[in-house]
Amino acid sequence: MNPGKISVRRASFLLASMLVGTALFGATDDTTSTTAAAVPANSTTSAASAAPSQNEEIQRLKAALAEQQKELQALQQMLKNQQQMIEKATAATPAPAAATAAASSPAPAPHVNLGDVASLVPVLPVLPSPTPTPIPVTIAEPGPKPNPQAGSTQNAGGGNPCEAPPDANQVPPYLRLGNVCVVPVGFMDLTPFWRSENAGSSMGSNFGSVPLNNAANGNLSEAKFTLQNSRIGFRIDGDWKGAHFIGYNEFDFNGTSGAANMQVTNGAIVPRLRLFWVDVRKNGWEFLGGQSWSMLTPNRRGLSALPGDLFYGQEIDINYLAGLTWSRQGGARIIRHFGDKVAWGFSVEQADQYMGGSGGGSTITLPANLTGLATTQFDNGAGLSSSPAGSYLSTPTLTPDFISKLAIDPNSRFHFEVGGVISTFETALNQSSTGVVAIKAPYNIHPETYGAGLLFGVNVGLTENLRLISTNFWDDGEGRYLFGEVPDIVVQGNGSINPLHSAATIDGLEATIGHTLLYAYYGGIYAGRDVVIDANGTSLVGYGYTGSSQNRAINEATFGFNQTLWANPRYGAINFMGQYEWLERGLWYASAAGPDQAHDNTIYLDLRYTLPGSMPNF
């Protein structure tokens, strides 16, 4: 046994004994004094005889107390010296093997047994309490996403934060997988909506097929519930040899279902791939490949393909806004960043020889002897529901679409962009001996034409919490990018192809007040007119001819709110949203008995839970 420890215990025992003795002596002294004071005053003889004895006893007690005080001070000094010696000996002694192993092993994660019922731990360990950082309501797409500018290759401390040792004092808002960070992307929606017209569509508005006021479905309303806008996916970030890479995946549930009992006994909503791409940036150069939002989609900042950096409005309507230029399609792009303020990009994307018919949009009327071009050489929006021939994958495309875009961001409050798109169209026909163009062998005629469009947009922060948005599009032959509401081309009787003119605009405001986001937009589409004469020399075909019921203009006015009810960076967020939408569809010509306009009113409500998570600061 350690002799130092024995001495300390012995000294402690002696010290305790002295303190007890002192207390007893003090009590005896008090008792003696009390007894002396209690002697009657008239007992002079007894007092006189007792006085010398009492005085002597008091003197002896005082002397003993003084001696004990000296011993007590000596013991205290000895204890102090012994304690100093023990501390020095302990510091100089090597730690046991177990202690060394414990010191060298990494500290366990702060949430090792959290929720681990198999561990039989009676009490869950207390997690550290990081400073809560509320998820702000932003004018980007709702949901927790502190999206860094895609491509920044350094964090505040340098290097890859996904390779840094975990911080024992925090529960990170992302998952670590090897040397990359993974964030779940998604939210769960419950969306009831009501329309004044029975459009017969899902929760997305088919802008080009609003029922006419005198039609049966134009005099019926509809009220529905849906979860189709719910979304799930993931985002992966990392740095490798100075290059920052992002992998992004996103599904929703707006796929087409073949179940006949979809509304009878089972809401069989079907997953649908929205986005699936990878992006790499290094030294000012950026490369992206996969299915992404088209580069023609307006940006909020830079040329990033991340959803939070794009503008497609804050509305609940999953078909967004009338007049928005967009597509989600396969392609590849290259971007050159000139610092943080200027970026130029070029992309090649999936083309489509589009003659109308998708999203409620009007189709062109083909010449009588060329009706077979539909679904074989031109996409009429029939899709795979009728036959594979209706899919854009089975219609020919001479070249991909070529898109170029320039973005200027002098500061965080101002974004300017200008871009353009070029497409090509071609068919294969035969010139018969009568001079009439037909679709038969040997297909020795190849009519060809080009389409082009110009995009211009600004996104300006008038104040810290108020933004002004304007995006505009003029084109010949690029109506497909307006949610398919305008055909790309018109075919003449001799088989030649004309690009069809169209134009669109979106203008609006977005404001944040506390945890509430407010927005209001106007959107408009104009479809041009191209009337051609059929090969018989008398019939009118094309687009916008007398007697047709093809769309001339589509107008939309909408406003709404997004209220954050609760948000926590570790648990996600709950939002309540509402939107009112007014649509007007105008025709080039109407039948003698019918109107040339249609109107619709739609009200959306939405309760959304957004998954937690965000990327570290690269």
Contact (Cβ atoms closer than 8 angstroms) between residue 203 and residue 193:
yes
pLDDT score of 16 more than 60: no
Q: Closest Cα to residue 135, out of 551, 544, 567, 481?
A: 567
* Global pTM value: 0.74
Domain annotation covers residue 268: yes
Please give the structure tokens belonging to residue 46.
């007894």
Q: Give 582's Cβ-side CA count (13 Å radius).
A: 6
**For the chain, what is the mean pLDDT?**
81
147, 307, 418, 521 from 613: Cα distances, Å: 11, 15, 33, 30
Question: Across residues 503-516, what is the average pLDDT?
Answer: 97
Domain annotation covers residue 93: no
More confident residue, 44 or 585: 585
Q: Using CA atoms, how far apart are residues 608 and 618, in angstroms rounded to an integer?
A: 29
Poorest-pLDDT segment among 65-74, 314-323, 467-476, 488-497: 65-74
Q: Using CA atoms, how far apart are residues 271 and 255, in angstroms rounded to an integer?
A: 5
Question: Across residues 552-571, what is the average pLDDT?
Answer: 95
We report the CATH number of the domain holding residue 602 as: 2.40.160.10
* Residue 391 confidence (pLDDT): 54
Clarify whether residues 179 and 82 are in a common domain: no
Q: Using CA atoms, how far apart are residues 355 and 322, in angstroms rounded to an integer?
A: 19
Domain annotation covers residue 589: yes
Clarify whether residues 182 and 70 are in a common domain: no
List, for residues 465-481, the tens digit of each pLDDT value. 999 999 999 999 999 99
Phi, psi of 179 (to 5 degrees): -110, 25
Q: Using CA atoms, how far apart are residues 2 and 133, in angstroms rounded to an integer?
A: 53
The enclosing H or E element of 431 equals strand 430-431
Clarify whether residues 210 and 70 are in a common domain: no
Question: Across residues 507-525, what is the average pLDDT?
Answer: 97
Question: Across residues 388-415, what is the average pLDDT?
Answer: 85
Q: Closest Cα to residue 65, out of 26, 93, 10, 111?
A: 26
pLDDT score of 24 more than 80: no
Class of residue 391 by CB neighbours under 10 A (exposed 0-12, middle 13-18, buried 19+):
middle
Clarify whether residues 202 and 61 are in a common domain: no
Q: How many domains does the chain have?
A: 2
Which positions ≥6 away from 346 have C-beta within 8 Å? 333, 334, 335, 402, 403, 404
Phi, psi of 124 (to 5 degrees): -65, 140
Contact (Cβ atoms closer than 8 angstroms) between residue 125 and residue 279:
no
Q: Using CA atoms, how far apart are residues 553 and 207, in angstroms rounded to an integer?
A: 10
With vertex at residue 320, the alpha carbon angle to CA 315 and CA 325, rounded to the nearest 5 degrees, is: 135
Domain around 74: 1-35+55-87
Final residue of a structural domain among 87, 107, 130: 87
Domain annotation covers residue 135: no
Clarify whether residues 197 and 68 are in a common domain: no
* Residue 262 confidence (pLDDT): 63
40 pLDDT tier (thresholds 50, 70, 90): very low
Clarify whether residues 61 and 201 are in a common domain: no
Clarify whether residues 244 and 380 are in a common domain: yes
pLDDT score of 514 more than 50: yes
Clarify whether residues 60 and 207 are in a common domain: no
Domain annotation covers residue 124: no
More confident residue, 499 or 49: 499
* Residue 614 confidence (pLDDT): 87
List, for residues 144-175, the tens digit of each pLDDT value. 343 333 333 334 445 788 888 877 676 778 88
Please give the structure tokens belonging to residue 392.
């854009």
pLDDT score of 265 more than 80: no
Clarify whether residues 80 and 207 are in a common domain: no
More confident residue, 8 or 522: 522
Class of residue 102 by CB neighbours under 10 A (exposed 0-12, middle 13-18, buried 19+):
exposed
Domain annotation covers residue 578: yes
* Residue 105 confidence (pLDDT): 41
What crossing angle do the helices spanning 44-92 and 3-37 adopt, rounded to 10°? 160
Clarify whether residues 70 and 191 are in a common domain: no
Domain annotation covers residue 551: yes
Contact (Cβ atoms closer than 8 angstroms) between residue 461 and residue 413:
yes
* Residue 494 confidence (pLDDT): 87
Tell me, what DSSP letter sits at residue 42? T
Domain annotation covers residue 101: no
Percentage of the residues of the chain whose pLDDT score is greater than 70: 76
The enclosing H or E element of 69 equals helix 44-92
* Residue 162 confidence (pLDDT): 87
Which residues are paired to 168 by β-bridges? none
77 pLDDT tier (thresholds 50, 70, 90): confident
- Greatest CA separation found in the chain? 167
Contact (Cβ atoms closer than 8 angstroms) between residue 405 and residue 417:
yes
